[in-house]
Amino acid sequence: MSGRPRYEGFVPGRHQIDSYGNGGFRFADMSHRGSLLVLPGGIHAWPVVSAADLTPAAFAPVVAEAAAIRILLVGTGREAVFLPKAIREILRDAGIGVDVMQTGAAARTYNILVAEDRPVAAALIAVD
């Protein structure tokens, strides 16, 4: 992840994910080590390192932007895992559909949907 400016926590606007792996992501001519929330208002560092960290509190920023999100893609690492019922209910109550998949698939799907100007967001757990 060298050769690009380091990401420092928030980048406003919608950006595609240029690449993922090695514990992080590249986007908007920057690199970031760790997980990301890619929301309509911008890209945020996300303190989730594994599926065990997926709690309702981790999704509060998503719910805060619910009016601009119709689908949330959740990349849970190398393996897809089920979201806990409490998280699914919070997202449903906010009017957000959710699709859980491996992080790579979520990043690729996000890029397609954002290129189509769809109301999409992504919660991406970094992979090595």
pLDDT in tens, 8-23: 567 778 899 999 999 9
- pTM, entire model: 0.91
Query: Alpha-carbon distance 110 to 121, whole Å?
Result: 7
Token readout for 76 is 């849970």
User: The domain 10-124 is classified under which CATH number: 3.10.129.10, 3.40.1230.10, 3.40.50.1820, 1.20.950.20?
Assistant: 3.40.1230.10
Using the CB atoms, write b or e for 28-55: b if 16+ within 10 Å: bebbbebbbbbbeeebbbbebeebeebe
Helices first, then strands: H and E counts in the chain: 3, 9
| The pLDDT of residue 8 | 58
Token readout for 48 is 């989730």
pLDDT in tens, 32-67: 999 999 999 999 999 999 999 999 999 999 999 999
SS3 of the chain: helix, strand, coil, percent, to 5? 30, 35, 40
Token readout for 124 is 């991406």
pLDDT band at 1 (very low <50, low <70, confident <90, very high): very low
Domain residue spans of the chain: 10-124
